[in-house]
Structure formats: structure tokens, C-alpha cells
Amino acid sequence: LDGVEAVEIAISAPKVHRKLVAIGSGKGGVGKSTMTANLAAALAKKGVKVGVIDADIYGPSQPTLLNAHAKPEARDKQLIPVTSPSGVKLLSVGQLVEAGTALAWRGPMASGALNQLVEGDWGDTEVLLVDLPPGTGDVQLSLVQKAKPAGALVISTPQDLSLIDATRAIDLFEKVGVPVLGLVENMAGYRCPHCGEESDPFGSGGAQASAKELGVPFLGRLPLSASLREASDAGRPPASEDGPAGDAFATLADALMS
Ligand code: ADP
């Protein structure tokens, strides 16, 4: 088939024992990257040595979310992660190409870039979060099979369309023997800043019900929040600050580490 290629990712086994956690979603735009950046910031705030691999080759947003745009230096052909102001080490395809450049990569090029990120000089990093591209295609499958994460988190909105795709992502992880650590519901509920009225633009409770049905832990929900969006866009993950968002992500970080 034209345009379809096998993706081969040759990642050698990590030399140091560290916990690698994949963050996936069935659909794009559900907040997977925002969640990854904040979870990493929450772990860093707790004193955990944490790194993020931004494997979202088609929409690498971690350099913006973590404010770590510098081009990584290389030593002995190994990329050195860039440390964000919140103390998270980051390697992203977004750091390797000009901002705004379309990553029209075929399979082999994408897998070559992902190899470089996974085999970067992660030093004494204890937890490595991998922000996967959305979906359940070849790139995700190869990366998960080769990098062998200790577990996976799946992010979904409460909307049925998102949950159907999240179910596919859970199925993919289970098929390749990666335990699903839990499902997190994002954009769950909105409180109007003017009148205080609460509404559910994407529905409510769907992820919890799906998690129960699928037999995976439900780890919690995060509301739709303009301040979370603004802080994230500005490269200041709210999880690294004190406050309700900081507390929520600290709880999620604890669940991840337990
Ligand atoms: P994904 O990685 O799943 O594609 P992103 O993390 O890039 O999703 O989020 C998509 C958009 O939604 C971004 O503009 C982000 O700032 C916004 N967003 C994510 N989570 C929330 C939230 N809880 N409240 C408000 N905006 C959010």
C-alpha cells in the first residue's frame, strides 16, 4: 500500500533501572501532553528525578508546555536532555526541528528520531514519561513494544467519541503486555468564572464508567480550566506551583509512583 511502511524502532534495553511510563490517548486534543507535562512537574516538585520523552512526532508540544526549547547538545552521539525551569528533563522532536516545520516524516525517519530520544543521556533519571502520539498506529505500537514501558496511562475526555478511542488505546497496551495503570478523565466539567454555574461540555462520568467496564483503575478527573490552559501555553505547568492544580497533580503523581 502506498504510504504505509513498517516502522522499526531499534531501542536497546535501558542500562539503568528506571520506571518508564507511556502516556497515551486514542484521540488527539484530549490533553495528553498537558497531563504529561503537569505530571512530570508534580513529580519534580516531589523531588523525583523525572524526564519526558516527547514522542508526539506530529504535534510536539512539550518544549512549549515545559518551556524547554533549546536544541539538545550531543555527546558521543547521545542527546543530552534539556532541563526545564520546573526541573524536568526533556527530549522532544520539537527541539530538533524549526518551530512550525511540518514533520512530514515517513516511518523510518520518525523511528530514527524516536530512537535518539529514548537513547538520550538520561543519567540518573528515575521516572521517564513518554508522551505518545495520539492513536494506535504503527509508530505507537513499535515504540511501546521496543521501549517496554512499566505501565501506561490513558487520557480521555468524558465524551463518547474520545472514550471509544481510549478503549482502543487500552486494548493496544494490553495486547503488547503493558499494564494499564489507569484512565484519567480530562476536561471534565466547567465552572463559569462569572456566575459559578457548573456545566459538562463533554458530558460527565463517562471515563469512570468505561474504566469500570474495562477493568482498569480510574485515577481521577481534571476540569476544563482557562487558567490551566493559559499557564500551560505560557510554559508554566500549574502542577509545579502550590494550589488546587498542584494538589490534584500531586495526588496523581502519588498514584503513579505507588
Ligand atoms: P493532546 O496532547 O491530547 O493532543 P493537549 O495537551 O495538546 O492535547 O491539549 C489540547 C488543547 O487543550 C491545548 O490547547 C490545551 O491547552 C488544552 N487543554 C488541555 N487540558 C485542558 C484543561 N483541563 N482545561 C483547559 N484546556 C485544556
Q: What is the pLDDT of residues 207-246, one digit of tens each?
A: 899 999 999 999 988 999 999 999 999 999 999 999 888 8
Q: Which residues constitute the domain of residue 46?
A: 19-55+127-257
- Label residue 13 by pLDDT band (50, 70, 90): very low
Tell me if 146 sits within 8 A of 138, measured CB to CB.
Answer: no
Centre of ligand 1 from the C-alpha of residue 52, in Å: 17
Q: What is the pLDDT of residues 23-48, one digit of tens each?
A: 999 889 999 999 999 999 999 999 99
Task: Give a yes or no: residue 81 inside a domain.
Answer: no
Task: Give a yes or no: residue 8 inside a domain.
Answer: no
Q: What is the pLDDT of residues 181-193, one digit of tens each?
A: 999 999 998 888 8
Tell me if 71 sits within 8 A of 96, measured CB to CB.
Answer: yes
CATH number of domain containing 235? 3.40.50.300
Cell 465524551 sits on residue:
159
Enter the ipTM: 0.99
Residue 210, number of CB atoms within 10 A of its CB = 23
Contacts of 34 (CB under 8 A, 6+ apart): 65, 186, 228, 229, 232
- Label residue 4 by pLDDT band (50, 70, 90): very low
Centre of ligand 1 from the C-alpha of residue 229, in Å: 7
Task: Give a yes or no: residue 247 inside a domain.
Answer: yes
Name the region of 228 (left: φ>0; alpha: ψ -120 to 50; beta: rest). Answer: alpha
| CB of residue 232 inside a 6 A radius of ligand 1 | yes
Of the candidate ranges 1-10, 83-92, 96-105, the one whose mean pLDDT is the lowest: 1-10
C-alpha cell recorded at residue 33: 501532553
28 is in an annotated binding site: yes
The total of structural domains in the chain comes to 1
77 is in an annotated binding site: no
Task: Give a yes or no: residue 195 inside a domain.
Answer: yes
Rounded Cα gap, residues 19 and 66, in angstroms: 20
Rounded Cα gap, residues 188 and 207, in angstroms: 9
Pairing status of strand 89-92 against strand 82-83: antiparallel
- Considering only CA atoms, which of 249, 223, 226, 224 is closest in space to residue 86? 249
Q: Residue 2: pLDDT above 50?
A: no
Task: Give a yes or no: residue 7 inside a domain.
Answer: no
Q: What is the pLDDT of residues 142-176, one digit of tens each?
A: 888 888 899 999 999 998 888 888 899 999 999 99
Centre of ligand 1 from the C-alpha of residue 1, in Å: 34
Residue positions counted in the chain: 258
| HEC string for 126-149 | CEEEEECCCCCCHHHHHHHHHHCC
Cell 511501546 sits on residue:
144
Task: Give a yes or no: residue 95 inside a domain.
Answer: no
Report how far Cα 128 is from the mean position of its chain's Cα atoms. Answer: 10
| CB of residue 224 inside a 6 A radius of ligand 1 | yes
Task: Give a yes or no: residue 104 inside a domain.
Answer: no
Angle value at C-alpha 252, between 50 and 52, nearest 5 degrees: 25
What is the pTM assigned to this prediction? Answer: 0.91
Task: Give a yes or no: residue 179 inside a domain.
Answer: yes
